[in-house]
Amino acid sequence: MKSFLLTAWMMVLCAAAAVAADAEGFEPLFNGRDLTGWVNANCAPETWSVKDGMIHCTGHPTGAMRTARQYENFILELEWRHLSRGGNSGVFIWGTPIAAPAVPFLRGIEVQVLDHGYAEQYEKDNGKKSDWFTTHGDVFPIHGASMKPFGRHNGDRSFPSEDRSKGTPEWNHYRVACTNGVLRLSVNGKEVSGGEDCNYRKGYLALESEGGPVEFRNIRIRELPTSNPAANLIAPEDNGLRSIFTGLDLRGWKTNAATALRWSARGERISLSAGPANPEATLWTEKDYGNSEFVFDLHSAKPAEGKVAMSPAVMVRGVEVKLTDAVAGSYQRYTVVVKGNELVVRRGEKESQRITLPNDAKAYAPFGLRDTGVATELMNLYARDL
């Protein structure tokens, strides 16, 4: 009887604790076992993993892992620690589903996750302390996002009011409160930085990989009532585009002796060296695509003086698509959509080509990067089936 009463009392206590946790309103964003609920935005498969109940990031390549759904108003709490001196990472708030054009980062508001060794090395190299960043919780918009910073700031970068973060390998606690486009960051128990008038103010949350190993744990969120933001303040929805480049190597692409001489992967980019064009060196995906959409950022070198510029090209359903409007010397984002016998190319937001595929076009074929002889770089390669 005593044993029964003790068991019953323990059950009551556990139930009360569970109710208290529910009443607080937080839900876990990480289950401690796997990466369910997260999407690898543009990293290698091994970049993000779960070890000992923590999210572990190798730091390579530079990129992000984001939530599977968007969030608007909320309180986000998490703990982080760097595993090497000078480690760099971040938490992206209200981000896009894929990387912004010509960079490996999502557009959004970044909450900096930086080890003290980074600032120490800067001071050693430059003979003075940095006046444009700190290692204690800077908040700033990146790559198209905007924010009016609170307190002490440099441009639109909000500096913390106190130095409260701990260096590797100690854990730090962040609390990020976001309501109606206002973001407030608390570091280890005290609010220190943030901003208002954020655009976007609804989007994806993400963890950043940027050069060094870092770990995250105890990630939880409490959602708050919506402010019904205007459409222009909401990040684009995930439409199924997934990265087809690891950012590190050519896994997922067919390689041979010819491609090995012409193509390489480094610095989150696939590069084609200059030289005589060789159709045999076209770089193909291992996967075949039918009706589909491709997104990629392309940079082609300017031709030597007196030389005619060659247009970069891609292969879609066995058909060569020349990107004749590519501007040499700068990155442009291209979107190629093929459906039925029609193919549409957009550079940026503007349609640049509309092609009727020939009758002998293949129903399914690998996507290819053509060797046209011109030195070319590509990054942020995504694809989806339609």
Q: Where are the domains of the chain?
A: 24-237, 253-385
Q: What is the residue type of 157? A: R
Question: If you compute the radius of gyration of the chain from its CA atoms, what whole number of angstroms results?
Answer: 24
Alpha-carbon span 105 to 112, nearest angstrom: 13
Pair 201, 233: CB distance under 8 Å: yes
Pair 58, 210: CB distance under 8 Å: no
Integer CA distances (angstroms), 193 to 71, 104, 175, 188, 384, in order: 20, 25, 11, 12, 39
3-state SS, residue 232: helix
Q: Which helix (H) or strand (E) holds 293?
A: strand 292-300
Q: Which CATH superfamily is domain 253-385 in?
A: Exo-inulinase; domain 1 (2.60.120.560)
Sign of torsion over alpha carbons 249, 252, 253, 256: positive
Tell which residue, 219, 237, 208, 213, has the closest CA to residue 43: 208
Q: Are the folds of 24-237 and 253-385 the same?
A: yes
- 218 forms bridges with which residues in the sheet? none
> Tokens in use for 208?
């950043």
Alpha-carbon span 131 to 351, nearest angstrom: 43
Q: How many helices (H) and strands (E) does the chain have?
A: 3, 30
- 346 forms bridges with which residues in the sheet? 335, 351
Tell which residue, 119, 99, 103, has the closest CA to residue 41: 99
> Tokens in use for 217?
């744990």
Alpha-carbon span 142 to 103, nearest angstrom: 10
Question: How crowded is residue 361: how many other Cβ atoms within 10 Å of its Cβ?
Answer: 16
Predicted local confidence at residue 303, as pLDDT: 73
Tell which residue, 43, 41, 147, has the closest CA to residue 96: 41
Pair 289, 282: CB distance under 8 Å: no
Predicted local confidence at residue 304, as pLDDT: 67
CATH number of the 24-237 domain:
2.60.120.560
Integer CA distances (angstroms), 106 to 30, 75, 117, 143, 275, in order: 20, 21, 25, 8, 34
What are the average pLDDT values for consecutive 10-residue runs of the chain, which has 386 residues? 45 42 80 97 98 97 98 98 96 98 98 95 92 95 97 95 96 98 98 97 98 97 97 98 98 93 95 91 97 97 70 95 92 97 96 94 96 94 98
